[in-house]
């Protein structure tokens, strides 16, 4: 067995005790060993990032542009190879894995361009003869903690803007998916980043993540994960008065009105609820349907789901890959049992199935006759499970859609311009989709939610500057 893939600290690869990276599609397949960092490793990484910050924050925009562009080019050139690795370690199908890697490359390409589009303002003061400059500056050392469900895209949309705007980074990926994170950092390291600008510390959240969060030298923290963890990180960060940006999940509604194109509605629901094995914070796990089309809609979704193939992520013809690990599978099965005990009707799916390889395979579960008070309609399951809720009309549909502590994404299927326009304005969510799945967003526009889904400035696109920079106002009299 080869040595574990090391962490990157202060520009040097640091070995450590390894842990196996096992594929959820084939539990006999180990994708290599990856070092698990210690608390000391994490603190050394923070110190390295702090030391590198003055020079990197004042580096020429063209220098940062060249490095990010070189990284983007390599990611895109290797999209099939990296997509295969991603699919094997996380479980999404190979086309989805390649698509995610492509998106990561596009994100780095976008922020390479942003390095050359940095701007400020030059204004006259209200006082004669005084000039005013308004500029944006890097915030400092950014701690980045990412989840397992998008193991290269989410790190990309946090790391790329951080580096673009002159920050240094300490990056802790999810313990379940170290391979994609390591490959991304290796690409950036070879692209020419100076020592200490980007540091990778893989390992346990309770060890590595905790050390990052507790360090007063981490001046900003961006995190994607559970609401419970986000709340704990927010409290810890408040004591240090640091800047935070948290994305903490969703329980996203998709409304189907009686005037909707049934084919469009079914495809949007199946894609948004079940693709990527439902392991997306933007998944539409609450389907709210007008009674007039309730029966035909359920029948059409059932037919569509039963035509899907659940299996090995790399197998041709697989539509739904495995659940990421045994713990997540157990949680999904618990919620399926809970839904049945609450009186919801299981229309189809919800079965653990066997395939040629041992893996965590679960068929998509569709529940009908749900109420918005059931646990399966209130709590984020993070698996291929969706609850269908009947409503009388649009007004009730909107009320049910907004009756949730989350507010990340919301969708509607309708041919009514009136209802589409009203829903866009009145849905309590950071992102709204009309006749499109709730999951699936562009890389050049803001990402984020309201209520319990998000906290802090938006991610992605030009709006990323709100988090990764601070505004400085300078006055000068000749």
The C-alpha atoms of residue 427 and residue 408 are separated, in whole angstroms, by: 10
| C-beta separation of 459 from 252 below 8 A | no
The DSSP bridge pattern shows strands 469-476 and 131-138 to be: antiparallel
Residue with token string 């050359």: 116
**Cβ atoms within 10 Å of 375's Cβ, excluding its own:** 15
Token pair in block for residue 2: 């080869």
Catalytic residue among 90, 247, 267, 290: 247
Residue 380 annotated as catalytic? no
Both tokens assigned to 284:
């539409």
- Neighbour-count burial for 250-266, b at 16+ CB within 10 Å, e otherwise: bbbbbbbbeebeeeebb
Catalytic one of 281, 290, 370, 459 = 281
Other CB atoms within 10 Å distance of the CB of residue 342? 16
Query: Which residue do the tokens 């199908």 mark?
Result: 93
| Token pair in block for residue 57 | 């924050």
What is the C-alpha separation between 367 and 386, in angstroms, rounded?
Answer: 6
User: Is 370 a residue of the active site?
Assistant: no
Give the Cα separation of 140 and 54 in Å (integer). Answer: 9
Q: Which residues are catalytic?
A: 247, 281
């Amino acid at each position: 067995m080869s040595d574990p893939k090391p962490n990157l600290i202060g520009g040097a690869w640091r070995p450590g005790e390894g842990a196996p990276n096992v594929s959820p599609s084939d539990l006999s397949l180990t994708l290599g060993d990856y070092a698990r960092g210690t608390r000391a490793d994490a603190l050394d990484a923070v110190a390295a990032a702090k030391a590198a910050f003055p020079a990197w924050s004042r580096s020429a925009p063209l220098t940062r542009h060249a490095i990010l562009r070189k990284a983007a080019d390599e990611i895109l050139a290797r999209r099939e190879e990296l997509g295969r690795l991603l699919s094997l370690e996380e479980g999404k199908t190979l086309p989805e894995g390649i698509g995610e890697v492509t998106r990561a490359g596009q994100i780095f390409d976008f922020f390479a361009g942003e390095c050359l589009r940095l701007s400020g303002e030059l204004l006259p003061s209200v006082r004669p003869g005084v000039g005013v400059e308004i500029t944006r500056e890097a915030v400092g050392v950014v701690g980045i903690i990412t989840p397992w469900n998008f193991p290269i895209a989410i790190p990309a949309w946090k790391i790329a803007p951080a580096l673009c705007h002159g920050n240094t980074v300490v990056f802790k990926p999810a313990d379940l998916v170290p391979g994609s994170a390591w490959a991304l950092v290796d690409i950036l390291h070879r692209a020419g980043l100076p020592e200490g600008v980007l540091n990778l510390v893989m390992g346990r959240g309770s060890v590595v993540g905790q050390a990052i969060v507790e360090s007063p030298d981490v001046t900003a923290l961006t995190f994607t994960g559970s609401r419970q963890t986000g709340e704990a990180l927010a409290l810890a960060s408040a004591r240090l008065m640091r800047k935070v940006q948290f994305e903490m999940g969703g329980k996203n509604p998709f409304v189907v009105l009686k005037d909707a194109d049934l084919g469009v509605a079914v495809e949007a629901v199946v894609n948004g609820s079940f693709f990527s094995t439902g392991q997306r914070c933007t998944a539409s796990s609450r389907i709210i349907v007008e009674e007039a089309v309730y029966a035909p809609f359920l029948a059409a979704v059932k037919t569509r789901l039963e035509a899907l193939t659940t299996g090995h992520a790399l197998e041709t013809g697989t539509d739904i890959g495995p659940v990421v690990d045994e713990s997540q599978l157990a949680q999904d099965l618990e919620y399926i049992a809970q839904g049945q005990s609450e009186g919801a009707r299981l229309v189809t799916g919800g079965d653990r199935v066997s395939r040629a390889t041992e893996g965590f395979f679960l068929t998509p579960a569709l529940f009908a006759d749900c109420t918005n008070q059931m646990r399966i309609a209130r709590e984020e399951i993070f698996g291929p499970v969706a609850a269908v809720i009947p409503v009388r009309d649009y007004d009730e549909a909107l009320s049910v859609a907004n009756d949730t502590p989350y507010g990340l994404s919301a969708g509607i299927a309708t041919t009514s311009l009136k209802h589409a326009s009203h829903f866009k304005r009145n849905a309590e969510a950071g992102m709204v989709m009309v006749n499109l799945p709730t999951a699936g967003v562009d890389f050049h526009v803001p990402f984020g939610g309201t209520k319990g889904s998000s906290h802090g400035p938006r991610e992605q696109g030009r709006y990323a500057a709100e988090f990764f920079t601070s505004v400085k106002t300078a006055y000068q009299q000749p």
